[in-house]
Structure formats: C-alpha cells, structure tokens
Structure 1
Amino acid sequence: MKNIAFYLMTLPAVFLFAAFHTFPAVQGIYYSFTNWDGLSFTYDFVGFKNYLNLFKDGNILNSYLFTFKFAIISTILVNILSLSIAVGLNAKIKGKNFFRGIYFLPNVLGVLIVGFIFNYIFSNVVPQLGDKLHIGFLSTNILGSEQLAWVGIVIVAVWQACAFNVILYLSGLQTVPSELYEASSLDGANKWQEFWKITFPMIAPFFTINMVLSMKSFLMVFDQVIALTGGGPGRATESISLLIYKGGFQGGEFAYQSANSVVYFIVIVLISVFQIKVLQKREMNM
C-alpha cells in the first residue's frame, strides 16, 4: 500500500511535467515537419524541407557562429575566474564568509535587470568616464559596435555566472583533505605546485560539472542579448535562442524555427556528452 501511495503522490508532478514540457516538445518536433506559421488553422506537411533549408540560411549560420564564439570564450573565462576566486575565498582570510555572500549576490539578481543596468553603464557611464579621462576606446558605446558588442555581453554573462560557479568550486575545495597540504608543505611544495598536484586533481569532478553546465547555459544565451543589444547592431549579436524566438513568434516561421530548435537541442546534447566523456577521461588520468 505504501508503494501505491508513493506512486500516486508523484502523479501530479508527472502530469504537470508532461503537460508543460514533454507534450510541447513533441508537438514542436511534429510542427517542424510542416509549414505552419503559428497562427493559421491549416498547414501542410513538407517533410525535411525545413531542416534542409536551415543549412542554406545565412542568418542561422551567423547566429550559430556568434553563439559558439560567445559560449566558448565565456565558458573559459568564467571557469578561470570562478576557480581563482574560490581558491582565494577558501584560504584563511578575515571575513571570507562576507566575501562569499558578496560574490554570490549576482546570482540572486534577475538576468534582465542586470542586463538593463549594464546597458545603461555601457551606454552612458563608461563613455562619459572615457571622455573625462581622454581614453578613446572608452568614449564610445561598445554595444553600438558590430565588432565589440559581443564583448559587452561576455562581460555581463561572465560576471553573473561566476556567482554560481564559485559556490560549486567552494564545495569541491571543502572535500580536499587538509592533511595533503600539510604533507606537501613538509616536502617543500609551493602554492602553485599544491594547486596543480593536489587541489585541481581533487576537484576535477567539480571542474567537469562547471564546464558542462557553463557551456550549456551560454549556448542557450537569451536574456543578456535581449537586455543589452536586442541582437544588434544589425544581426551581429543574434544568438540562436533569440533567432528562434524572433522568427517563430514574431516572423511567422513557427515550423521553420521549430526545426531549428530541434537541431539546436541535438547540438547541445552532443556537445554536453562530448564534454563529459573527455573531461571524465581526463579525471581518470590524473
């Protein structure tokens, strides 16, 4: 009877998950084989036509290039910064709990709110500061430049993502036995040697988790782009998620962008699986 009760308790959650996740996903795959515009009551099946057209669309190619560039650079930066901050916070310093709270604060703030704040900073505060200091490259709004707008998005995304990654790395550092550091100090190891020979190998599983989650999150970037550039200037910072949203819900390309989202989902899964395989293999070789 207890087992039956447990199963019955899970039914509401299963139903809600199926209704708001599984069913829409399956429905999106179904529509990707049609020419439905998202509004009309009639549509025709077109087979794999939408999928074939994806590889001929220059806008989709540009969005994939921007998203991959952004995701790779942001993933590298956020893990370097997060690990450095976590190691510093894990050291014996005064008020480290206060600093832990400060570093976690960006994770509490809404992404859109942070984006709009930084939009104002990049558009007004930084150019005014550049003019007063007579620094040329700071005097212009980088969000208005096709070549530099992505840099602003990287800065905001990395700044906010560091908060969560620092917490994960701190959790990993807590699992490293202090006896290992004591033994290494007796052997004359310096801090750099301790990090590469003890700290990093011991927290390798946490590094794997952070790398996979960071890459997945940055590949799905949407809010930061909306708040900072809206995909502009032109289409210079149009991410895949933003393109799917604009084309599907505003451009009458619901079926076409459904096909794009299916391909996008497959790409993210393949990248995540590849990362896990490579990084776990690296863990075993440490």
Structure 2
Amino acid sequence: MSTTTTIVTGGDKKIRRSTARVEPIYYLFLIPTLILFTLAITVPAVMGIFFSFTDSIGIGTWNFSGLTNYIAIFSDPAVLQSYLFTFGFSLATVIVVNIVAFMLAVGLTSRIRFKTGLRAIFVIPMVISGIIIAYVFNFLFSNSLPAFGAATGIEWLQTSILASPDFAWIAIVIVTAWQAIPGTLLIYIAGLLSVPGDVYEAADIDGATKFQQLTRITVPLVAGYVVINIILGFKGFLNAYDIIIGLTNGGPGTATRSVAMTIITGFNGGDYAYQMANATLFFIVAIIIALIQLSANRGRNAL
C-alpha cells in the first residue's frame, strides 16, 4: 500500500490531505477467499432459499409451492416447540455462563497464588470436542449419579435426569455452560485487566469496600465486555446441536430438540424444502440478533 500526501494552500491556511492507494497484489490475495466463500457459503444459501419455496425432497423433480412451507411452520407444534426450547435453553445458559465466568475472572485477576496455572486449567474444556464432553456427562448422569444415589439412599439421584422431560434441559445447560465458560472467561479477564489500577487505588483512599469497587467501578467499566459475551453467547447457543445429540438425542420424546437438530433431522427424513424454509427463518432470526449486537455495541470501545 502506498500513501500520497498533498498539501493544498487556501489563503493563509494549509490543508494536508492524505490518500492511500491499494496495491493490486492485495486484491490478488483476496480473490481466492471470495471464490471459496461464494462457492461454500453464498451459493448453497441462495439455492436453499430458492428450494424453500418448492416441494423438493432433496433429489428428483420438484414444483413451486409458494409460501406453503412457511405458513405450515407457524402451525407445526414440533417446530414451535424446538424454537421455544432453543430460546429458553439459550437464555438460561447465557445467564449461567456469564455469572460463573465473571466471578471466575474476578478471582483469577486478583492477587492470588498460582493464578496463571489456574487460568490454564479453566481453559481446558474449551479445547475438547463437544460430542466427547456430551458422552462423558451422559455416562455420569445415566450411571454414576444414579449409582451414587442408590448407595447413599438419595432417592432423587437414583433416576437419571436425562430421562425426565421436565428436567433434561438442566443437564444440557450444565454441560453446555461447562464448555462455554472458558471462552467467556478469557474475554472477561481481558476486560478486567484493561481497567486502570489507579481507579482502585483512588477508591481505596476514599474508603470504598471491595464490594462497592466491584459494583460501582468494575461492572460499569467492563459493561462493554458483558454485552459482547451475552450477545455472542446467545447467538452461539442458538445453534446447539452436538451436546444435545450426545446427551439426550432430543429426548425424552422431543422435549430437548433444538432448532438445528430439527432442521438436520428433517433433511435426513425427506423434508428438505420444509426444513429449508425453517432454516431460512432461523437465518433471519440470527440476522436480527446480529443487528441487536451492532446496536448494543455502538459507541462502546470494548475489544
């Protein structure tokens, strides 16, 4: 990239203008990425939206059906249940993840021993595959905890929580949060480390307690990081799939079936066009959440 500076004289004033010219070599590096993105993302998305207006089963002939698939979605109890579960699960998980991650971040940025090693330990769940984590916790919830409950006489532990239509979602929230907390924790640590130490020293001089410093200094100064974690976490949890597959496979019945699982299951079951319409609606929801993120972060300097 080359830069050209021009000085324009107007009366007694001199105005300095700088223009940057991008070298063609940069566009050469950009072209392969654009081609891959177009072939792997844009073209399949456009084709999917097109087929959502048809009766296609994924192969063979098809006919246009207009808005039939979209109208049917809003009266399909299975789809509506999947949206209800997904949004409820996402909201609960976001709350749990952010509260626990923020508390850990405060502890791991305080003056404690071995905090560097503890940070490394807490990050481990983030690098483990979600499906592996799900199968491990499946064994714990289905075998270890019931066996412990039988040995200790604790009746409510003797039945696997994964077999309960009313409480299986709690297990999914616990496992998802266990994997998601490290990423959120790292963002909070970065935010807490960006707060100037002079602010806390001034607060100590004024007699502020640690709790007052936390609520009146720390929380307001890292508010941007809180917003980022909430929005990114909510968007990520909306796509929950692998952990649900490994824990409950959408059961009992369809009690824990997410939108992503409903769409993928429909693809395999011959409801290609119908679930493509569902995927399109879900894409619109994701776009709305992204716009909310941009609006919430406007004017903030975090990250």
Report TM bin, short chain.
Answer: over 0.9
Partner of 2:12: none
Q: Which moved more, 1:88-97 or 1:193-202?
A: 193-202
Structure with higher Rg: it is: 2
Partner of 1:72: 91
Distance 2:236 2:154 in 1: 34
Per-residue CA deviations over 1:32-82 (Å, capped at 9, x if unaligned) read: 111100122x10011111111110101001101111110010001100000
The within-5 A match list for 1:31-110 is 31-40=51-60, 42-110=61-129
Deviant stretches of 4+, over 6 Å: none
Q: CA deviation at 1:275?
A: 5.0
5+ residue gaps, structure 2: 2-21
Per-residue CA deviations over 1:94-150 (Å, capped at 9, x if unaligned) read: 000111001100001001110111111111111111111111111111111111111
If the length of structure 2 is used for normalisation, what is the TM-score?
0.90
Q: Answer yes or no: is 1:271 the counterpart of 2:289.
A: yes
The number of aligned residues is 281
What secondary structure does 2:23 align onto? helix
Partner of 1:258: 276
Contact 2:228 2:297 in 1 (8 A): no
Could you say if the C-alpha distance between residues 280 and 138 of structure 1 is closer, same or farther in structure 2, counting changes exceeding 3 Å?
farther
Distance 1:264 1:101 in 2: 36
Q: Answer yes or no: is 1:23 the counterpart of 2:43.
A: yes
Q: CA deviation at 1:280?
A: 5.5
Could you tell me which amino acid in structure 1 is paired with residue 273 of structure 2? A
What secondary structure does 1:237 align onto? coil
Contact 2:55 2:62 in 1 (8 A): yes
What secondary structure does 1:92 align onto? coil
Partner of 1:10: 30
Q: Percent identity at matched positions?
A: 41
Partner of 1:181: 200
Could you tell me which amino acid in structure 2 is paired with residue 78 of structure 1? V
Contact 1:205 1:280 in 2 (8 A): no
Q: CA deviation at 1:193?
A: 0.8
> What RMSD in Å do the two structures reach over aligned CA positions?
1.6
Q: CA deviation at 1:274?
A: 2.9
Partner of 1:198: 217
Match of 1:237 among 231, 248, 256: 256
Q: CA deviation at 1:271?
A: 2.9
- Which is helix-richer, 1 or 2? 1
If the length of structure 1 is used for normalisation, what is the TM-score?
0.95
Distance 1:79 1:279 in 2: 17
Q: CA deviation at 1:268?
A: 2.2
Contact 1:36 1:44 in 2 (8 A): yes
Per-residue CA deviations over 1:250-272 (Å, capped at 9, x if unaligned) read: 21011110100110111122234
What secondary structure does 1:188 align onto? coil
Contact 1:126 1:139 in 2 (8 A): yes
Contact 1:221 1:241 in 2 (8 A): yes
